[in-house]
């Protein structure tokens, strides 16, 4: 059995090495390292895949979120609703812009935004909602969009962990990130569609927003040396675009491989009463950026994690601290323990198992056997 990794990028690369190397060599031959033709080609490929009008690549997923909020022309002090249980970049960009992050609790089953909590958090200063499609399945976009329309709020989807997932909306399947006003994604190497460095993108069906996004990502400029607004220098490298254009052709296959591995975990772990396998929402496919267990309150997560490590099985905790207890955001002590009970429970009870496109059957068998052994001993 090969060593088990949380993400096996090396094997994934080896399986498509001739295509990747060819794409890289074409960029090297052309030496158009910034805004080369491959950037436009990948942008067009991704727009076709997502069935969206505009895809604007950028430097990384965090930039994508910041650019999206900048494109909405929000003003300092405006409130932006985010999940409390998420990676920091979702909330970080809100703070960076002088906006007020308003974390809300999440659903205990899907770990995504609770629409009831969103409704409770809306005030006269609320301007936007940022749902995160956490771990590979979509937040309840039908309900979130209904709330947003009722209160005239913008919606920015953080689809960094769910690129390729389908979400049922208004009677049709839509790709994650294409339902709100703007969708954001990341191409961090471990993502379902990952490059070999940093990268990100935004998508929208609104031509005016697309124009603003392009301008902001290019120093606020439509024309070189002429700047109509404050912007960023946020570009997707040509090399990364070339790599992504190759890997995009494999994305659906990669996601199916993750689903097959998840189905094995689901089946084999179903009998463990102190372990809850990932819940699947009826309106969304799940593409398992992470395969995350929820452990019963009497399970010592650190002990289980150490046990697996000793057996050569990596695992990760996503995420150990909710946003409302992060020092960077709770500067005036306005929130305390108990304010967001579901998020707090999740930070103490979740544990993610190895999940990637190259998991082999003997590895899955070994992982499951050792988890069963732990709970039976």
Tell me the CATH class for 251-376.
alpha beta
H or E segment and range at residue 267: helix 251-269
**Phi and psi dihedrals of 179, rounded to 5?**
-95, -45
Q: What percentage of the chain exceeds 90 in pLDDT?
A: 98
CA distances from 153 to 109, 210, 218, 222, 311 (A): 26, 18, 26, 28, 49
Look at residues 125, 79, 124, 77 and name the one whose alpha carbon lies nearest to residue 103: 79
DSSP letter assigned to residue 289 = S
Look at residues 47, 63, 38, 64 and name the one whose alpha carbon lies nearest to residue 202: 64
State the distance between the two ends of the chain, measured CA to CA, in whole angstroms. 24
Contact (CB, 8 A) for 176 and 164: yes
> What is the predicted pLDDT for the residue at 348?
98
Q: Name the residue ranges covered by the structural domains of the chain.
A: 9-248, 251-376
CATH code of the domain made up of 9-248? 3.40.640.10
Contact (CB, 8 A) for 359 and 5: no
> What is the predicted pLDDT for the residue at 331?
86
CA distances from 279 to 45, 86, 89, 105, 304 (A): 31, 17, 24, 17, 21
Mean pLDDT, consecutive 10-residue stretches, the chain (377 aa), reads 96 98 98 97 98 98 98 96 97 96 97 98 98 98 98 98 98 98 98 98 98 97 93 98 98 98 98 97 98 97 98 98 95 92 98 97 98 93
Contact (CB, 8 A) for 56 and 43: yes
Residues in the chain: 377
Please report the DSSP string for 32-71 in residue order: --SS-HHHHHHHHHHHHHHT-SEEEEES-HHHHHHHHHHH
Q: Return the bridge partners of 39, or none.
A: none
DSSP letter assigned to residue 279 = P
pLDDT in tens, 73-86: 999 999 999 999 99
How far is 217 from 133, CA to CA, in rounded Å?
A: 24
Contact (CB, 8 A) for 131 and 364: no
Contact (CB, 8 A) for 107 and 113: yes
Statement: the pTM of the whole predicted model exceeds 0.85? yes
DSSP letter assigned to residue 229 = S
Look at residues 255, 254, 247 and name the one whose alpha carbon lies nearest to residue 196: 247
How far is 314 from 17, CA to CA, in rounded Å?
A: 26
Q: Rounded to an integer, what is the distance from CA 39 to the centroid of its chain? A: 22
Torsion sign over Cα 72, 78, 79, 82: positive
> What is the predicted pLDDT for the residue at 267?
98
Residue the block writes with tokens 């002990």 = 303
């Amino acid at each position: 059995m090969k060593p088990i990794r949380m993400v096996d990028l090396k094997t994934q690369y080896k399986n498509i090495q001739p295509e990747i190397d060819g794409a890289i060599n074409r960029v090297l031959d052309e030496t158009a390292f910034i805004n080369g033709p491959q950037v436009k080609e990948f942008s067009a490929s991704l727009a076709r895949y997502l069935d969206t009008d505009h895809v604007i690549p950028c430097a990384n997923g965090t930039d994508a979120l910041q650019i999206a909020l900048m494109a909405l022309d929000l003003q300092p002090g405006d409130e932006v609703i985010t999940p409390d249980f998420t990676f920091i970049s979702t909330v970080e960009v809100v703070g960076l812009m002088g906006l007020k992050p308003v974390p809300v609790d999440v659903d205990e089953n899907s770990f995504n935004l609770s629409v009831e909590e969103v409704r409770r958090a809306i005030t006269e200063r609320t301007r936007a909602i940022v749902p995160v499609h956490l771990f590979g399945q979509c937040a309840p976009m039908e309900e979130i969009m209904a709330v947003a329309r009722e209160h005239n709020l913008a919606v920015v989807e953080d689809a960094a962990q769910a690129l390729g997932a389908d979400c049922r909306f208004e009677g049709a399947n839509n790709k994650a990130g294409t339902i709100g006003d703007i969708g954001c994604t990341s191409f961090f190497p471990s993502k379902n569609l990952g490059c070999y460095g940093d990268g990100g993108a935004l998508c929208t069906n609104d031509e005016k927003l697309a124009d603003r996004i392009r301008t902001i990502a290019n120093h606020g400029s439509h024309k070189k040396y002429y700047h109509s607004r404050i912007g960023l220098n946020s570009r997707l490298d040509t090399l990364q675009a070339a790599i992504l254009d190759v890997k995009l052709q494999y994305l659906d296959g990669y996601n199916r491989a993750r689903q097959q591995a998840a189905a094995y975990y689901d089946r084999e772990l179903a009998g463990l009463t102190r372990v809850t396998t990932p819940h699947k929402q009826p309106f969304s496919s799940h593409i398992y950026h992470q395969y995350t267990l929820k452990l019963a309150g009497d399970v010592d997560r650190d002990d289980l994690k150490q046990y697996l490590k000793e057996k050569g099985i990596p695992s990760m905790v996503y995420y150990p601290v909710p946003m409302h207890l992060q020092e960077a955001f709770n500067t005036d002590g306005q929130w305390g323990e108990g304010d967001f009970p579901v998020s707090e429970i999740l930070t103490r009870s979740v544990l993610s198992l190895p999940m990637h496109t190259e998991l082999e059957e003997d590895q899955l068998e070994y992982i499951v056997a050792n988890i069963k052994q732990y709970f039976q001993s």
